[in-house]
Amino acid sequence: LISRKWKVEPTRIDLGDGVVIGEGQFSIMAGPCSIESEKQIELVVQHLVENNVKIMRGGVFKPRSSPYAFRGLGLEGLQMFHRICRENGIKIITEVMQVSQIEDMIDYVDVFQVGARNSQNFNLLDSLGAAQKPVLLKRGISGTLEELLQAAEYIFSNGNEKIMLCERGIRSYENSYRNVLDLNAVPVLKAKTHLPVIVDPSHGIGLRDYVEEMSLAAVMAGADGVIYETHQKPEEAFSDGQQTLNFKESERLIRRMRQAYALR
């Protein structure tokens, strides 16, 4: 169902209020790795509004490698995130980790993110298929493109066609950076499916100094959008500070991505 052979016309996902994701536009989604406080949300929202970015990312349920690390503000954090974004005309993308959270989260979310670690959680995918909210599905940490496509097929075959695929880097033996951002995936996925393809350069390379270059490369590779991490003080971020841009860097990135997209 997700194949270009089945549907030639590219899928576009309408989040309302003129925010559409898919071929014909370039979508920018930005925000902190984790939602941390009301003040932080306000500062990021202000930064996004100033730069005409319409979608904010931010985790309230965080999949952390260590159980002792900060694991997110949970549903209360999401409700605060939702209130501030609504007041400012910003859409929300946030990660859902398990089936039981869908019902609690659904009224406060515009796009459900499925993280790399849950990319093959088939029960979660089935339930998101039934839920009818847009889904950004990340590639697994060591996932093949075929596995990503089959995961999307789980959601689609349950009746939810509003899916975007996300390349976020795969694990390799190279340890000079966090992951290997596989930009090969972009044209290949675009050829194979009618779904929008989004790139996450922050997790893809994991080092803030190179996020801009990889984002620009993603634009030129044909991505329909980029999702990246930004924070008012990256060095104080609760998670993923090393790959997070400050607002000055973020502003420059937004400007350069828009310039690059105009040349594509």
Q: How far apart are CA 263 and CA 1, in angstroms?
A: 32
Q: How far apart are CA 64 and CA 219, in angstroms?
A: 29
Q: Which residue is nearest to ligand PEP (CB)?
A: 115
Cβ nearer to ligand PEP, comparing 61 with 247: 61
Min separation Cβ 114 and ligand PEP, Å: 8
Helix (H, G, I), strand (E, B) or coil at 134: coil
How many H-runs (helices) and E-runs (strands) does the chain carry?
9, 10
**Is there binding between residue 131 and Mn ion (CB under 5 A)?**
no
Binding region for ligand PEP (CB under 6 A): 33, 59, 63, 115-117, 138, 168, 203
| DSSP of 200-241 | -HHHHH--GGGHHHHHHHHHHHT-SEEEEEB-SSGGG-SS-G
Min separation Cβ 93 and Mn ion, Å: 12
CA angle 8, 12, 17 (to 5 degrees): 160
Min separation Cβ 180 and ligand PEP, Å: 13
204 is in the binding site of which of Mn ion, ligand PEP, none (Cβ under 5 to 8 A by kind)?
Answer: none
**Is there binding between residue 15 and Mn ion (CB under 5 A)?**
no
β-pair type (163-167, 27-31): unpaired
Cβ nearer to ligand PEP, comparing 10 with 63: 63
Using CB under 5 A, which of 165, 183, 240, 250 touches Mn ion?
Answer: 240
**Is there binding between residue 200 and Mn ion (CB under 5 A)?**
no
**Is there binding between residue 33 and Mn ion (CB under 5 A)?**
yes
With contact defined as beta carbons under 8 Å apart, do 135 and 163 qualify? yes
Min separation Cβ 59 and ligand PEP, Å: 5
Per CB under 5 A, residues contacting Mn ion are 33, 240
